[in-house]
Structure formats: structure tokens, C-alpha cells
Chains A and B, each alone.
Chain A
Amino acid sequence: MNEQLKSTSIERLKGMIENTEQQLAYLKDELQERENQAAHEQIEHLDDYMDVAEQRFGPLIEFVATIMKELRNTKSKG
């Protein structure tokens, strides 16, 4: 690639950079649009998240249970 570039004219190099920048901008726009779309889709599940937000200490209890299970597994392997 480097050898090929050495023989490429300055004008051609400028054109390649411009083309790459355009491609990059297009890809960034596309990525942004898809990410936004995914966010909009997730926001439609807000009702479910509202229920999760009301769980108070439930996830903490579940988390402690997971840790205990992992510790027991580590001990039994050891």
C-alpha cells in the first residue's frame, strides 16, 4: 500500500482523502441514525422500565444471592 501511495500524484491523494472523508461522514451519520432509532425503540418500553424502577430493594437481594452463589461455586471448585 505504502509503495503504491509513493507513486500516486498529490492531486490523486487529495481526491482519495476527500473521498474517504465523505465516506466516513456518511458512515458516522448512518451510525448516529441507527443508534437514535434504537434509542427511540427502547424508549417505547418505558412502561416496563417504570415497573423496574419501583422494585426498591429487590435487585439488591437478587444481587447478593448471585454473589453468594458465585462464592459457593468458587469454594466448591477450590
Chain B
Amino acid sequence: MTTGTHTLTPGQADSGDSAKNFLLWLGVIALVYLLITAVGTISSGFKTATGGQAKELFAFATNPILGLLIGTMATALIQSSSTVTSIIVALVAGGLPITIAVPMVMGANIGTTITNTIVSLGHVRDKEEFQRAFAAATVHDFFNLLSVLIFLPLEIMFGFLEKLGLYMASFLVGGESMSLKGFNFIKAAYKPVVNVFKDAAHILPHPFDGIFMIVLGIVLIFVAILYMGKILKKLMVGKAKEFLHAAIGRGPVTGILSGTGVTVLVQSSSTTTSLMVPLAGSGVLSLRQIYPFTLGANIGTTVTALLAATAIAGDKALFALAIALIHFAYNIVGCILIYGLPPLRVLPIYGAEWLAGMATKNKLYALAYVLGVFFIIPGVIVGISNL
């Protein structure tokens, strides 16, 4: 390698890469710190703004369908379920009831599928390639829609996910102090920064001081997850390749594990599912081969919210961890039930193939689907319900 008048030996180039990677990892650690600080900031902002009466603030979203649609639209707009679920964790820590948060988390699962669907639209120039790419993208949509159709009514009737989440969280959260076992040092680490934000916000009148902290926290979560994803993509592309290479020619369980692994590495389910679209478009991987990867992406993306939940200590720690675990359990149970039962397993494939066929014949259907499912239908329903 030559740089100006100097020639780098392979050893020098390697040490240069190591130094660069070291700095990138430092960046990741800083962004994780920023994420948990942001979650703590939102939680603190809610307490400041509502004086612990956040339940009344969310009264407008007590309808679970509304919660679902808000989760869908918010995620579709910012194209990151990790960001939305981390914000939901912070909202729960600030007083949002879990009953309202569960449909929002389900909505985040639907909203995140927009990214790979949009990526598939980029294959529009070749008819067959577009059909394969669009089907591969929308199989994720149909799976998540089917999952909501099955689990949301069950949740409304029995609240089984809420009970399951609280049950699992109770094992990890101390009974008396209600703080995360072994994780209390995290609050100590971010508290000074949150206090700085709090002091700065105090120049504003109440309740705008709390609102300022909430908005600041949301912006910081967005920035932290966005840049964490960018850096991890650079650092982890090699490992992601290894995961995918290992899954080729193997069964669906390996596909699910590979999808989970890649998503944990890049901290984004939409990235994992979007990576699959060109592979499907070129015909290298079939729709049935892509399908398990997308389920793994659903599971892998829950790690970010679990990480965010570690930021919460005190009386709301149990609930913050519970909602993160609900997201995890929801995706695991959905995968086992829908993919495990052959009559249900094929439904997302049939749906995706049907829609891709329609969209290939008339591209306006694809446009109507993207705008309708993710924005227009949720927007109209949310608008009507607030009249």
C-alpha cells in the first residue's frame, strides 16, 4: 500500500485497521451509553412532565387497535423497529401502561417491514426480478400481519403476553428494590448526564421542561441506533457473511438462527430483511429459503429493547423489562406457532406470491399496498378515532 511518498508494509496496514476497528468499537460503546442515557432521559422527562400521572396522558391510546396503528406508522416513518421499541420501553418506564404498550410493539413489527418492501421496489426495471424481490419482501409483512391477527385478539381477551412478560421480568428484577439485578451500576453511569439535561430543562416552565427531556431522549435514541447500525455494519459485515454462508444449503432452523445472528450483529431487522431482497431478486435464493431469515430478524431485533431496558432502575424497572421481554416472547411464540404449523406456515408465502403477482401485472397495486398498509389506512383510522 502506498501513501504519498511512504509505502505501508502489510503489518503496518493491519495495525492501521486494528486501530480503526478499535476506534469504531469505542464508538459503539459510546452509542450504547447514549442509548441507555436517552432511555433514562425520556423516563425522567415523563416523570417531570406528568408527575407520575402518565396513564391519563395515554388515555387516547387505550384502544389496542389504535396502539397497533400508532406503532405501525411510527416505525414505518422512521424505518426502525429497534428505535420505536426502545422509545416504548422508555415510555413504559415513564408510566405508559403495558396493556397499551403491547399493541404498539406488535405495530412496530408490522411497520418495520416497510423497509425491505421499499428496497424491493428498486427492482422495478426487470419484471421477473421485481416479482421475486417483492414476494421475498412481503413474506415478512404477511407473517407479521398474520401474527397480529392471531395474537392481538388473544392478548385483548386474556392478556397472556403481558402476564408472560411480567412473569419473566420478575425473575430478573429484584423483588424489594425493583431494580435490575446486577444492572444498577448502569443507572449510576448515566444519571449524571440525565441530571445535566434536567438542570438545562429547568429553565423552561412546567410541563415543558419534561417535554423537552422526552423530545431530547427520542432524538438521542434515534441518533444512537442509527449510528450504531452504521458502525456495526462496517465492523460486522464479515461476520454477517459467515452467518449467511453457514446457512446456505441447510434447513430452516439454521436460517432462523442465521437471521437472528445477523440482526443482532447489525442491530436492525430491516437491514437483515433488506439484505435478503437482492438475493431473492437475482433468483439465487427462493422465497421459501428467505422466509426463515425474516423470522430470525424478528427475534434478533428484540435485543436492542432489552438493552434499553437495562437503563431503567427503580419502581418501573419491572415494567420496562417486561415490555422488552414481551417483544422477545411475542416473536419467539409467533415463530414457533406460525412456522411450526404447516397450514399456517404456508399462508405468508401464498399471500406474498399473490400480491407479487398482482403488483407485477399492475405496479400501482404495489404503490397502493405500501402507502395504504403503512400510512393511509392507519392514518385515517387514527384520525377518525380522534374526532
Chain A interface (Cβ < 8 Å from any Cβ of B): 32, 35-36, 38-40, 42-47, 49-50, 52-60, 62-64, 66-67, 70
Total inter-chain residue pairs, C-beta < 8 Å? 87
Q: Which residue of A lies closest to B230 (CB)?
A: A54
**Are B274 and A63 in contact, with the CB atoms below 8 A?**
no
Q: What would 25 A/B residue contacts be, using CB atoms closer than 8 Å? A: A32-B249, A36-B248, A39-B249, A42-B278, A42-B284, A45-B278, A46-B241, A46-B244, A47-B237, A50-B237, A50-B275, A52-B119, A52-B277, A52-B278, A53-B274, A54-B271, A56-B115, A56-B118, A59-B119, A59-B120, A60-B121, A62-B122, A63-B367, A66-B124, A67-B363
Nearest CB in chain B: distance from A27 CB, A:
17
Q: How far is B256's CA from A4's CA once the two chains are assembled, in angstroms?
A: 51
| Smallest CB gap from B273: residue in A | A53
**B284 proximity list for chain A (CB < 8 A):** 35, 38-39, 42
1/0 contact string of B190-228 vs chain A (CB within 8 Å): 000000000000000000000000000000000000000
In the assembled complex, the CB of B375 is this many whole angstroms from the nearest CB of chain A, namely 11
Q: Is A53 in contact with B279, judged by CB distance below 8 angstroms?
A: no
CB contacts (< 8 Å) of B237 on chain A: these are: 46-47, 50
Q: Are A53 and B115 in contact (CB under 8 A)?
A: yes
Contact of A59 among B122, B248, B279 (CB under 8 A): B122
- Given A50-B271, A53-B274, A53-B275 in contact, is the A44-B241 Cβ separation under 8 Å? yes
Given A59-B118, A62-B121, the answer on whether A49 and B285 have CB atoms closer than 8 Å is no
Complex Cα–Cα for A55 and B284 (A): 22
A interface footprint on B218-254 (CB within 8 Å = 1, 0 otherwise): 0000000000001001000100110011001100000
| Residues of chain A contacted by B6 (CB below 8 angstroms) | none
Report the minimal beta-carbon distance from A49 to chain B, rounded to whole angstroms: 5
With A36-B248, A59-B118 known, 14 other A-B pairs at CB within 8 A are: A35-B284, A36-B249, A39-B284, A39-B285, A42-B278, A43-B244, A46-B237, A46-B241, A49-B279, A55-B119, A56-B79, A63-B122, A63-B366, A64-B367
CB distance from B34 to the nearest CB of A (A): 20
Q: Mark B162-194, 1 if CB is under 8 A from A, else 0.
A: 000000000000000000000000000000000
Q: Known contacts A35-B284, A49-B274, A63-B367: does B245 contact A43 (CB below 8 Å)?
A: yes
B279 is contacted by which of A36, A42, A67 (Cβ under 8 Å)?
A42
B337 on the A face (CB < 8 A): no
B 111-142 to A, binary, CB cutoff 8 A, 1 in contact else 0: 00001101111101100000000000000000
| Interface hits, B75-132 → A, CB 8 Å | 79, 115-116, 118-122, 124-125
CB contact list, B282-313 vs A, under 8 A: 282, 284-285
Q: Report chain A residues within 8 Å CB of B333.
A: none
CB-nearest residue of chain B to A60: B118
- The residues of A that contact B115 with a CB separation of less than 8 Å are 53, 56
